[in-house]
Every structure is written in C-alpha cells, then in structure tokens.
Amino acid sequence: MMLQAPAPTTAARMVMVQPKWMRSTQAGRAKRTTVLVTIALLAVVFVAMSPFIWTLMAATKPTNIAFANPPHFLFQPTLDAFVNLWQTTDFYRYTLNTLAIGAMSVLGTLVFAAPAAYALSRFGGKTSAIILAFALLIRSIPGFAIMLPFYEFATTLGLYDTKLALTVAFIAVDLPFTIWLLRNFFAAIPPELDEAAMIDGCSRWGAFRRVILPLMQPGLVTAGLLTFLLAFQSFLLPVVLADVDSQTVPVFLSTQIGQSLPLLQQAAAGVVLLTLPVLILALLAQRYLVAGLAAGAVKG
Amino acid sequence: MRRRELLIGVGPSLGVMLLLLGVPLIYTIVWSFQSVKFGAPGDWMGLGNYARVLQDPTFHSAVLFTVGFAIASTAVLLVLGYALATLLHHAGRGRSVFLGVLLVPYVVPAIIAATAFSWLFDNSFGGLVNFILETITGEQVQWFTNTWANRGLILLAGVWLGAPFYMLVLLGALKGVPSEQLEAAMADGANWWQRQWYVVIPTLGPMFRFLALIGIMNALGVFDILIPLAPNAETVESQSVSLYVYQKAFARDQQDLGLGSAVNVLMMLVMFILVSPFVRNIYREVKAGTA
Amino acid sequence: MLRSHKAALFAASTLSALLVLTACGAGSRTGAQEVDAVACDFPAQEQEVEVNVLAYSSSATDPFTNMMVASCSKDGVEVKHAPIDFGGQYQKTATTLAGNTGSYDIIEMYSGAVPRYASTDTLLALDELFEKHREAYDFDQLSEAMLEGLSYDGKLYALPTQSNVFTLVYREDIYEEFGLDAPETYADVLADAEVIQAGGEIKFPVALPFADGTSTLFEGALASQGSTYVDPKTGEPTFLSPEAEKGLNALVDLVPYMDPQVISFDQPRVQQQLFNGTAAIGIMYSGRMADLTNPDLTQYSDGFAFAPAPAIAPGGKTSAILSVDGWSIPKNTKIDPDLLFRLMAASITEEAAEQALPFAYPSRDNVVTEHNTPYAAAVQEALSNGAGTPPMETWLGTMQGDTAVLIQQAIIGKSSVQDVLAEAQKIAIRTLSGAAE
C-alpha cells in the first residue's frame, strides 16, 4: 500500500530541479547521503534488536555459562534449552491457546464491528458523531477498571480461566478501536457503489454483504491482524482472567523470569520463540501491519 | 441511510459495549465506595477509599513517577520517532526490511520484550550493557536499586518499545509534506535544518499533538514492563499507578478491591479530562462530515 | 495483491510447520521422568479427574511435584503441573483462593503463608485425613517440628514435604586460599568478606537475598538473640528493642561487601552470583543449595561448603529460620479431598523422600545422612540449635511485607537504621491493631 515501490527519495527529487552545473556534485552528495542513512539505519537496527540477539545468545549457550558474568562471547551453540522447553513444559499448548484466543477474538470483533463501522461510515450526523466520540472515550478507560469486575463476573459465572471469557473480554475491549479503524476504511469506498447495488435490487445489507465487504478485504485483513496482535500482546487481561487451562505465552513466560538455572535459560528460549514469528510477520505482512498501525493511530 | 439501518448495524456493537464495558465500569465506581473483596458483597464506606489512597505516601510517589514517566517518555519519543522517520524517509533500497525489523520491539508483547531488555542490564545475568560500561568507565550503574538509574532504565525501555510506532506514524506524515514547499525553500537557500524547522515540523504539527496525546495516555497506564524492570519498585519509588492497583487489589492476598477501584476511578477521570478536547474535535468533524 | 497472497501463504505454512513441531513435543515430559514412580494408591476413578498442582519450581520442591505427576497420573487421574517461579506461585495462590472456584486442587504451602490462608478459612484442615491414613503411610516417621511448622491454631493445614532452613554457603577453595575458617557469626562473615575483597578477585563477596528474603534475614537476626517481631509478654512490637537494632546493624554493616544492587537479589539471583563466581558467601534457604554442587550449572560446583546461618553474637543461636514446605488442599476444589490427600501422601513416602535427596531436606528426616546431603549437617545443627518458624500469626504476611520495604531502604542507605526501626514500629503497631479488629 504505502511502501510497495521505493519512491524516489527527496534528495533525488531535489536533483531534478538543480541547475545543470550543480548536478554532478549534488548527485554525489545524494549518494553519500543514502550511504550514510543506510549505515545509520543499520546501527539503529542493531541497537533495537540487541536485547533479542543477546537473549538468543543466552538461550543457545551451554547452561553453565548462559548467564555468566563477565559474559562469554564465544561458545559452542546448543539448542538444548529449546528442546527442554518444548518437552518439559506445555509451551505448545500456551501457543495454541494464544493463537486460538487471538483467532476467536478476531472473528468475534469483526462480526460485530464491520456492520457497525459500515453503518457509521454511511450515516453522518449527530447520532454517528455521538457513537464514535463515545467509542473514542471508552478507549481511554484504564484496563484495570474493566478487568477487575470482569474477573469477578468470570469467577461468579464459572467462566474464569476459559478461552470463552478471554475471547469475550478481548472482543469488548477491541470493539471501539476496530469500529473506528474499519469505519475509516469504509469511508474510502464511495457510497455510490452501495446505491448502484441497491438499484440493482439488493437491500442495504445485501449490498453490504455482496458488494462492499469483498471490496473491504484489505481493510478486514488489517483490522483482523491488529485485533489478533492485541490479543497476542496483552498481559493484563490474561493475567487477570486466565490461569491453568487458557494460559497464554506472555503470561506463562512472565512467571518464569524469577526462575533459577536451568529453567531461566528455558525462559530465554521461550522469549526467542515468541520473537521469531513476530519478525517473520513484520517482514511478510508488513503492508497490513503498517496500514493498520498508521490508520489506527490517526483516528483511534 | 435510514436511522433504522444504522441501528441494525450499530445495535449489536453498542449492546456488547454497554454490557461488557459499561457494567464493569459501574461495578468499579460502586466498589470504590465500598470495603469489598472478590466474591463477597461489600460494605458501604463512602469516600473512605479515596481518603485512604490520597493519604498513602506510596500512592503519592506512584503518581509522581507515572506523571514524570509520561512526560519524559513522550518528549523523547517524539524527538526520536521524528529522527527515525526522517532517516527511514531518506533510506534507499531495503527500506521495508529496515522498517520491518524496527517494528519488532513494538509488536513483541511488552512484558516479554522488557524481560529481554532487563537482561542486558542485569549483572547477575551477565548484562552486556553493564559489561561495556564497566570496561569503559570502570563504574557500575545500579540500574535496579538506584531510584534515578532505575527510572532511567524504565524510560529507556519505554522509548525502545514505543519508538517504532512514532516512527511509523511520522513516516506516513512525512510523505504528506508537499515537495513544492521544500523545493521552494531550497531555492530560497534554506539549508537542511532550516527546511526541517520552517517547513516539515509545522506541517507535522497536528500529528505531533496527536502523538503527544496518545503517548501520554499510554504512558500513564504503564504497567507490565515494570514487572521485569523494577523488581524493587516500591522501595526505589519507581512504582506506577497501575502497578500499585495490581499489587493492592489483585496480586497479593490482601486484595483491597475498594482501594484499587478508587484509584481506577481517579485515573479514569484524569484520562477523560486529557482526551476530552480531542474527542470534542472528532465529534465536530464527524458531525460536519469532514472526518 | 499477488504479493500479499504469497506472503499470507508463506506465513500460513510457517505457522503450520511451527504447530507440527509443537505436536512432537506434546507427549514427553522429561521433568517427570527424572524420578522413578512410587506406589500411589487410590480407587480407580470412573470419570477422568484432572488434578492441577500449583508449586513453584526449585530443585527442592521439584522432586515431590514430579513424584506426584509421575506416580499418580493413572487410573483416571491426571496430575498436571507447569513450572512457575516463586513470585508466580505467590500471586496465583492469592487469586485461586480468593473466589468460590479456584484453578488449583493442590497448592504448595509454606510456614509463612499458612496463618493468613488458614485464618481466612480457604484451606482445608487435614487432621481427619491425616489420622485416617496415619498408619497406611507411616506418618509417625514425619518430623514433629515440620508438622508443627504447617499448623495453625492447633490444626494441620499442609502435609509437610520438606524443610527449608536459612543456611550459609561459602566457597571453601577461596576460604582455604586466604586461610579462613568457616564463619560462625555475622562479625566473622564481615571479617572474611573484608579479607576476600582485599584479595581483589571478588569485588562484592557477600550475596544475600534481600529481594525475597529481607524479612527472613531480619527475623533470623532477631531469633539469634532469642527475640521475635512481637514481645510475647507485652504484646508490643520489638522494633525499638536493642536486639532489633543489633540485628539490623549486622545486616547493614555488610553493605560495603555486597553488590550495591543486592536488594534486587532474589534467591535465584544469589544463586547466579555464586554460580558465576562473583560472590563467595551467601545465605539462602537450604532447598536452593544442591544446585550449587551441580557441575552442569556452574564451574565452581566443587568449591562450595555449607554452614549454619551466622549468629549475631559469638556463642549465640544461629540466625536460621525454618520454613516448612508442604501440600495443602484449597477448600474451593471440586475434587474429593481424600483422593487429593492420597496423591499428596504418595509423593512423600519414604521411597519418594529418598529420591528427593540431596535436593531437599525431606519431612521423613530419618533418610537424611551427612553422606547423601552435603548441607545436612548445617540444617541439622540449625534445627537442634532451635531454628524456629516465624510467628504463626495472621498479621505475619502484612508485617513482613511492610517492614521489608523499610529494611531495604536501610540497606541502600536511603534511611538510617534508627529511622527505619522507628517507622517499622509505627507500622507494626498499626498492623497488630488491624489484625485484632
């Protein structure tokens, strides 16, 4: 969407308006700028990734020097910590829980949010404005103000520590944001399209389902991805609502950071295992991620 | 679109939000006036919880820390995010790879990222940063037990985790800076700094204001990164308001739900005050059909 | 569009590859294989029963947990346990016991936590079950002191697995190098630390667990002088007594020889300092000691020796504090307590206790010898010397939590010893009156 083809850099554009006699030095300078920028970015990337690189090193060192001080930089790497993590803990189950809760909350959120967002994008005026402003206001409520009562309800209803409770909570918390995000996507689709479909005999919601939703695919993917990430990242909500059966990976790992060796090294391995898919996602699904984060930021 | 159609579309969502967000909120407000534990009806005690929390020195220091963190981290993030966005804006090939990798700290769950971050600074676990600092200066920084060093560490981590988002949003905004104006400024002989100061930054003004608002609101809720980064939060006064609520109302056996709810209500009021001008603007824009 | 589909396809296949990997790991749990299963007798269950166990991971608790998992997962019962750190157990105990329904059926309990949960009626008193099964499991072998350490108001609330005593560990090789003798008092520790520090190799020779053990260290210092938090005669807190001042000073005097960040050290971090050779003297619960002799975890595994926790005054009692660990049954479990009790009892049979050596000091202490447990002498000496549990009162948890923060401030030099004790006295009086209400 926004970052597909490398756009001509500002520097390059500047070159075009320079008088001819300046051009060669300007071109040289532009090249130098690009090289400098690349070097700077490489440095930034290295610094930004250093905690994960260091954790990867700790996870692959032999256990007796994994957290040695002063640290060892040269070592024979081993994957034992990863193997032990897989075999001695339910890490796979926590991963499945995280994925399942994420997927269900995406589905639930989109089912509720899409019609709402569509209606709000087509219906201007006071009512829509109040609802959208209200949704924005809800976003600013501190998490504990919602989650402590949720914990009370979940235990009273016997839903504590179930995926259902977590999913419902995520849907509730994510709805306002997702409605805003999708509403902005819907607003970009010209209303004339709905009208054309309605003239062809579709009802309002028939037009929505047959014409508008298919056009919205990128928007839905973006919103889905973001909703998924919110569930994936959340700590507060699963730490309050989950325990044994629906424990998620971040909460599990948070109860491992006070371990001693060898379990602490397994925690490091867990951190690496969680980071890798994120890296892959950031590189592969970047356009959706970027679009979602940017759009969500602008209006949410 | 007819009003009935609007209701059909919005109704279910509104219902869910009222039931699942509105009802809990009412509970929180009621609890804040009660002496109450989970799973049992509470006893009415008026403003007692508010009086207790406002007199608690631990809460005072939590408020000071949280507000300071919000202001400092937002200021640093705006500057750093702008710098990174500018760098990335000028990047040639490989920009999307750079962008992707830089997003990782933001997407990894904060508590996990903060844990990895804390290991860089923890002597007991062969912290790389300490090793480098000690090799160069011969000094050790007490990242976890000196009040200001610990706050600095939390700020560093907060900036590291938040910078990708600021970078991303500002990068998008940079693309919107009209190139004609830049060229005109250049023709007038403005150097790079002058162009940033007179053209780019004013154009990005609204975006900066917006980012400052959400930055402050996010930072006021800072919670999970403190679990690995501030093991002595209470002793060294680097406890945030949310961590205070978590400890008082949930994680320890005392489970003082009334006190925690009172803090939540106070926090909510502050948030509403902060966000209200923004909400009012949006309300007007939507009503006028310009948003 | 094409690009994104390819990307999505790739992401999907990566994800599914990840899941296949996971499925492989699902079957085997090496943690439980480290012990040989013992007999675990209970009537076969008609319906599947899933027993969730909450127990922090350490080399001393793991043998009992793993024994229960390995021995009792059969005949319709599945015992489930996930590794968790002590902080995690602490938080989850609070939440699982708070409501009418809990997530756990067996909870690891320790002396210091018994009063608050027993007094709020959230744990099941085990006396009837204990009597019922006394002969079958030969409970007369269990240490009397340990049973007492898990009792409140005359009732037993947890079945003891093992006993943790604050114990001193020191690097014998370094002590020999400097011609030092095993320390007996805090003054000895101070003098030895000075010598070792002057040697230049180790900058901060002493590591104490001030993050999670501040109150225990302070209680030990009081106990060494025959004192405790509250004067039994007057019912007044003792923070203004000479014993309290002397005890706190003994800890504060060690500050120059401890890492400046020592208040962030929990026991795993103290362990790590000793693993790394950056500390030469440590005090921890005995259950954390066996790890130090494990060559897979540290290159100094041959160098460690153990002694009772130091006394405050020469010839005085050791500053050891006893904490008994055991299994408790939450009242809000849905599973038949008799079944749960049988699982608990199976994990502490004599055969099981033998397998817990040398990692734990088991409740059947007849199996312990100096041969099979390197720190046994230190623990036995402490026990015979009168190491006691902290006062088993409901105010204990609050008192420990509130005063620990103050004592930490004395350690980092934020407040003076006098100010800290004066403030602690005030808080303690408030805590006691609050508990009396």
Mean pLDDT of chain A: 83
Q: Is C366 helix (H, G, I), strand (E, B) or coil?
A: helix
Q: What is the pLDDT of residue C175?
A: 95
Residues shown for chain C:
437
Cβ within 8 Å, pair C95-B250: yes
Tokens of B265: 């209500």
pLDDT in tens, C144-157: 888 988 999 999 99
pLDDT in tens, A169-206: 999 999 988 898 888 888 888 888 888 888 777 788 88
Q: Inform me whether the C-beta atom of residue C195 falls under 8 Å from chain A C-beta atoms.
A: no
pTM: 0.88
Cβ within 8 Å, pair B232-C273: no
Q: Of C91, C264, C265, which is closest to B251 when you measure between CB atoms? A: C91
Alpha carbons C288 and C271: distance in angstroms, whole number: 8
Q: At what angle do helices B48-55 and B257-288 cross, to 10 degrees?
A: 100
Q: What is the pLDDT of residue B175?
A: 82
Contacting chains of B (3 CB pairs or more, <8 Å) are: A, C
Alpha carbons C352 and C59: distance in angstroms, whole number: 14
Tokens of C196: 């070792």
Tokens of A158: 């016997």
Q: What is the pLDDT of residue A16?
A: 42
Cβ within 8 Å, pair C88-A254: yes
Task: State yes or no: pLDDT of C241 exceeds 90.
Answer: yes
Nearest CA in chain C to B246: C91
Nearest CA in chain B to A203: B5
Q: Which of A135-139, B131-135, C58-62 has the lowest mean pLDDT?
A: A135-139
Tokens of B105: 């700290």
Of the CA atoms within 13 Å of residue B113, those in its CB half-sphere come to 28
C-alpha distance from residue C346 to each of A81, C37, C64 (Å)? 31, 10, 9
Q: Is B52 helix (H, G, I), strand (E, B) or coil?
A: helix
Of the CA atoms within 13 Å of residue C196, those in its CB half-sphere come to 30
Tokens of C386: 């009168």
What residues of chain A lie within 8 A of the CB of B89, using their CB? 9-10
Cβ–Cβ pairs < 8 A, chains B and C: 64
Per DSSP (E only), the strands in C128-186 are 151-152, 155-156, 159-171
Alpha carbons B271 and A137: distance in angstroms, whole number: 9
What residues of chain C lie within 8 A of the CB of A256, using their CB? 83-85, 88
DSSP state at residue A179: H
What residues of chain B lie within 8 A of the CB of C202, using their CB? none
Q: What are phi and psi of C52, to 5 degrees?
A: -95, 130
* Nearest one of C309, C321, C370 to C184, comparing CA atoms: C309
Percent above pLDDT 90 for chain C = 58
pLDDT in tens, B196-214: 888 888 888 888 888 888 8
Q: Testing the interface with C: which of B35, B146, B235 to mutate, by most C Cβ within 10 A?
A: B235
Q: What are phi and psi of A14, to 5 degrees?
A: -60, -35
User: Bridge partners of C155?
Assistant: C152
What residues of chain B lie within 8 A of the CB of A172, using their CB? 16-17, 20-21
C361 and C286 Cβ atoms separated by less than 8 Å: yes
The interface residues of chain A toward chain B in range 178-217, judged by CB-CB distance below 8 A, are 179, 204-205
pLDDT in tens, C89-143: 998 998 888 877 788 999 999 998 999 899 888 999 999 999 999 999 999 999 8
* Nearest one of C428, A138, A284 to B104, comparing CA atoms: A284
User: Bridge partners of C356?
Assistant: none
Task: Determine which helix (DSSP H) or strand (DSSP E) holds C51, and give its type and residue range.
Answer: strand C49-54
Q: CA of B83 to nearest chain A CA: how many angstroms apart?
A: 11
Q: Inform me whether the C-beta atom of residue C418 falls under 8 Å from chain A C-beta atoms.
A: no
What residues of chain B lie within 8 A of the CB of C405, using their CB? 234-235
CA B42 to chain centre: 33
pLDDT in tens, A244-282: 889 999 999 999 988 888 899 999 999 999 999 999 988
B122 and B115 Cβ atoms separated by less than 8 Å: no
Contacting chains of C (3 CB pairs or more, <8 Å) are: A, B
A161 and A242 Cβ atoms separated by less than 8 Å: yes
CA A248 to chain centre: 16
* Nearest one of A70, A31, A95, A140 to A252, comparing CA atoms: A95
Q: CA of A47 to nearest chain C CA: how many angstroms apart?
A: 25
pLDDT in tens, B27-82: 999 999 998 888 778 889 889 899 999 999 999 999 999 999 999 999 999 999 99
* Interface predicted TM-score of the whole assembly (ipTM), two decimals: 0.89
Max Cα-Cα span within chain B: 74
Task: State yes or no: pLDDT of B2 exceeds 80.
Answer: no
B174 and B181 Cβ atoms separated by less than 8 Å: no
Alpha carbons A231 and A103: distance in angstroms, whole number: 9
C116 and C98 Cβ atoms separated by less than 8 Å: no
Q: In terms of C-beta distances under 8 Å and separation of at least 24 residues, what long-range contacts does C233-242 make, across chains too?
A: C235/C432, C236/C429, C237/C424, C237/C425, C237/C428, C237/C429, C237/C432, C239/C403, C239/C421, C239/C422, C239/C424, C239/C425, C239/C428, C240/C421, C240/C422, C240/C425
DSSP state at residue C35: S
The C-alpha angle with vertex C164 and arms to C163 and C168, in degrees rounded to 5, equals 140
Percent above pLDDT 90 for chain B = 46
What residues of chain B lie within 8 A of the CB of C91, using their CB? 251-252
Q: Testing the interface with C: which of A65, A85, A88 to mutate, by most C Cβ within 10 A?
A: A88
DSSP state at residue C284: E
CA A200 to chain centre: 39
What residues of chain C lie within 8 A of the CB of B142, using their CB? 260-261
